[in-house]
């Protein structure tokens, strides 16, 4: 690895005129220190790059988790789309609706998406950590809620402070994490996952009728093979047709022959 050359600096004497030690100049010492620092920086950068390049160690996933945990307390937006799956229209809609919901009810709901969880694999535990980082005191987080969607594992969580949890209720939370999130994420409809979940949370917090939970569309597979009964029936029909044709092939020439001989 080539080291950077030290530039000449004003006020540093040359080796020939140095009086520090024989053969060693102040310029030489400065240059050596500069080279060592530069080498250390390059070595550290290379090590960091190598660490991030090992996908098997889960580096990107853990980095993603820490990125979310390092996010400052949201003020302007009501979402952190770390998985980058929400469309521009969905983001705009979330900001408008959740801001209005906070004004009307006092409950602040935020949406977080991540690709996967490897450092903290439990979705609820991770969601709780995010809220604790954003609202460290019990009073600050009392009426705060969070909807988490994990795209790789097709799961998520709905959690929040005691005020939010009481207002929403366990029944709706269980319904969202067992229907809205898994059903739509399995189809990779992440925007619909978030919007449909927010629809239900919003209705509950406003005191309106809560939309019904989505139902998984069962795929009806058509049978492409014949049953034993159908096969036997087909064989019987085929045998009848073949027998009839053979009979015609034998009888018709005999009748024709008989007709010719009768004339004679």
Q: Is the model's pLDDT at 35 over the cut of 60?
A: no
Closest CA to 140 of 148, 132, 149: 132
pLDDT at residue 246 in the model: 75
Q: How many CB atoms neighbour CB 142 within 10 A?
A: 17
Q: What's the burial of 108, exposed, middle or buried (CB within 10 Å: 0-12/13-18/19+)?
A: buried
> How sure is the predictor about 40, in pLDDT bands with cuts at 50, 70 and 90?
very low
Question: What does residue 209 show for φ and ψ, rounded to 5 degrees?
Answer: -60, 130
Closest CA to 217 of 168, 257, 179, 255: 179
Q: Is the model's pLDDT at 239 over the cut of 80?
A: no
Q: Which residues pair with 147 in a beta bridge?
A: 111, 158
- As a whole number of angstroms, the distance between CA 36 and CA 191 comes to 51
Q: What is the mean pLDDT of residues 4-16?
A: 41
| pLDDT tens, position by position, 137-164 | 989 999 999 999 999 999 999 999 999 9
Helix (H) or strand (E) holding 50: helix 26-53
Q: What is the mean pLDDT of residues 109-118?
A: 94
| pLDDT tens, position by position, 163-185 | 999 999 999 999 999 999 999 99
Q: Which residue has the higher pLDDT, 77 or 14?
A: 77
Q: What is the mean pLDDT of residues 5-32?
A: 40
pLDDT at residue 27 in the model: 40
Q: Which residue has the higher pLDDT, 88 or 61?
A: 88
Report the greatest alpha carbon distance in the chain: 147
Q: How many CB atoms neighbour CB 68 within 10 A?
A: 20
| pLDDT tens, position by position, 72-109 | 998 889 999 999 999 999 999 999 999 999 999 999 99
> How sure is the predictor about 136, in pLDDT bands with cuts at 50, 70 and 90?
very high
pLDDT at residue 113 in the model: 96
> How sure is the predictor about 232, in pLDDT bands with cuts at 50, 70 and 90?
low
Q: What is the mean pLDDT of residues 45-72?
A: 57
- As a whole number of angstroms, the distance between CA 77 and CA 92 comes to 9
Instruction: Give start and end residues of each alpha helix (H) in 71-215.
Output: 88-105, 123-134, 138-141, 162-168, 170-175, 181-186, 190-206
């Amino acid at each position: 690895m080539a080291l950077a050359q030290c530039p000449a600096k004003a006020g540093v004497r040359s080796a020939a005129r140095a009086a520090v030690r024989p053969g060693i100049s102040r310029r030489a010492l400065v240059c050596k220190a500069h080279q060592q620092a530069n080498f250390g920086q390059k070595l550290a950068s290379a090590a960091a790059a190598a660490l991030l390049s090992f996908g098997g160690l889960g580096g990107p996933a853990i980095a993603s988790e820490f990125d979310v945990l390092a996010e400052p307390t949201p003020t302007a937006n009501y979402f952190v789309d770390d998985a980058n799956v929400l469309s521009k229209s969905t983001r705009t809609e979330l900001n408008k609706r959740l801001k209005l919901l906070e004004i009307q009810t006092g409950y602040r709901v935020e949406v977080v998406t991540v690709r996967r969880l490897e450092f903290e694999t439990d979705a609820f535990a991770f969601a709780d950590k995010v809220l604790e980082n954003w609202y460290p005191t019990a009073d600050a987080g009392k009426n705060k809620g969070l909807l988490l969607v994990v795209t790789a594992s097709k799961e998520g969580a709905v959690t929040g402070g005691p005020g939010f949890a009481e207002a929403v209720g366990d029944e709706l939370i269980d319904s969202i994490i067992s229907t809205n999130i898994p059903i739509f994420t399995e189809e990779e409809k992440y925007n619909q996952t978030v919007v449909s979940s927010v629809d239900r949370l919003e209705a509950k917090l406003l005191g309106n009728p809560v939309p019904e939970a989505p139902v998984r569309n069962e795929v009806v597979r058509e049978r492409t093979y014949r049953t034993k009964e159908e096969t036997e029936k087909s064989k019987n029909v085929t045998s009848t047709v073949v027998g009839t044709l053979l009979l015609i092939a034998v009888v018709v020439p005999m009748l024709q022959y008989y007709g010719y001989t009768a004339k004679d």
